[in-house]
């Protein structure tokens, strides 16, 4: 009887190990795809002076002005590197545009704009989502920069693209089929894939402690 119980336990353990191995493999593969995606996307990150109603409204006005200019600057960019270079060269214009909008709204806040690798959480948008990770971002900080922020994708310009043009815009910006599969609800949905990565990272940390 003990031998039979031992066999059952052994089978259960083997099944658990197989499940863990599958989760690790899927998570590792998805993580590789996420890492590749991070090298193809530029985020726009606008941070308000505070959470007051006036400051949050000002943030959105600045966002609109900067977003229009940034997308115009990047319209002819063929890939991430060209987009990065164009934005870097245009930083003074982008900052000046933000400053003009702030002044037009009767505010005296200072504003700064720069490019920086920034950690972002998972974020769902209309029809797609971006996994958490470190992305290059055009950061626009108003005043003290102590308020709630707004972020989206400035290259490719996915957040201002109509749903019917989403795929064309993404491909023209250098995203491939694997990238689109990762961030859209195809092939099982992005939520499940992102959870697989979180599980993989959690297991990796656990194994590193044991």
Residues 7 and 109 placed together within one structural domain of the fold: no
**Residue written as token pair 């795809």:** 33
Domain span including residue 7: 2-36+188-208
Closest C-alpha to 196, from 80, 13, 27: 27
Residues 163 and 63 placed together within one structural domain of the fold: yes
Number of domains in the chain: 2
Is residue 126 within 8 A of residue 163, CB to CB? The reply is yes
Residues 149 and 47 placed together within one structural domain of the fold: yes
Is residue 121 within 8 A of residue 145, CB to CB? The reply is no
Residues 133 and 197 placed together within one structural domain of the fold: no
SS3 of residue 115 by DSSP: strand
Residue 86 within any structural domain of the chain: yes
Helices 190-208 + 2-38 axis angle, to 10: 110
Rounded Cα gap, residues 161 and 37, in angstroms: 19
Phi, psi at 121, each rounded to 5°: -80, 170
Cα–Cα distance list, 22 to 26, 43, 196 (Å): 6, 32, 10
Residues 19 and 101 placed together within one structural domain of the fold: no
Residues 21 and 108 placed together within one structural domain of the fold: no
User: Could you read off the pLDDT tens digit of each residue along the chain, which spans 210 residues?
Assistant: 445 454 555 676 666 666 655 555 555 555 566 778 888 999 999 999 999 999 999 999 999 999 999 999 998 888 899 999 999 999 999 999 999 999 999 999 999 999 999 999 888 887 788 888 899 999 999 999 999 999 999 999 887 887 678 888 888 888 888 888 778 865 545 555 555 555 555 655 565 655
Residues 31 and 46 placed together within one structural domain of the fold: no
Residue 74 within any structural domain of the chain: yes
Q: Which residues face 142 on adjacent strands?
A: 111
């Amino acid at each position: 009887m003990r031998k039979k119980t031992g066999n059952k336990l052994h089978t259960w353990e083997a099944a658990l190990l197989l499940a863990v191995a599958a989760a690790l493999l899927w998570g590792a593969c998805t993580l590789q795809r996420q890492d590749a995606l991070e090298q193809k996307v530029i985020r726009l990150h606008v941070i308000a002076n505070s959470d007051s109603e006036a400051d949050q409204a000002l943030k959105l006005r600045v966002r609109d002005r900067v977003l229009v200019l940034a997308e115009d600057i990047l319209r002819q960019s063929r890939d991430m590197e060209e987009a990065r270079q164009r934005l870097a060269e245009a930083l003074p214009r982008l900052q000046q545009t933000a400053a003009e909008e702030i002044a037009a709204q009767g505010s005296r806040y200072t504003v700064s704009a720069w490019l920086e690798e920034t950690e972002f959480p998972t974020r769902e948008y209309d029809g797609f989502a971006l996994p958490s990770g470190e992305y290059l971002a055009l950061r626009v900080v108003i005043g003290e920069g102590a308020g709630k922020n707004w972020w989206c994708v400035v290259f490719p310009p996915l957040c201002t693209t109509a749903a019917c043009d989403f795929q064309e815009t993404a491909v023209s910006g250098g995203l491939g089929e694997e990238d689109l599969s990762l961030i859209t609800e195809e092939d099982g949905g992005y939520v499940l894939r992102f959870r697989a990565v979180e599980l993989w990272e959690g297991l990796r940390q656990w194994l590193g402690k044991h």
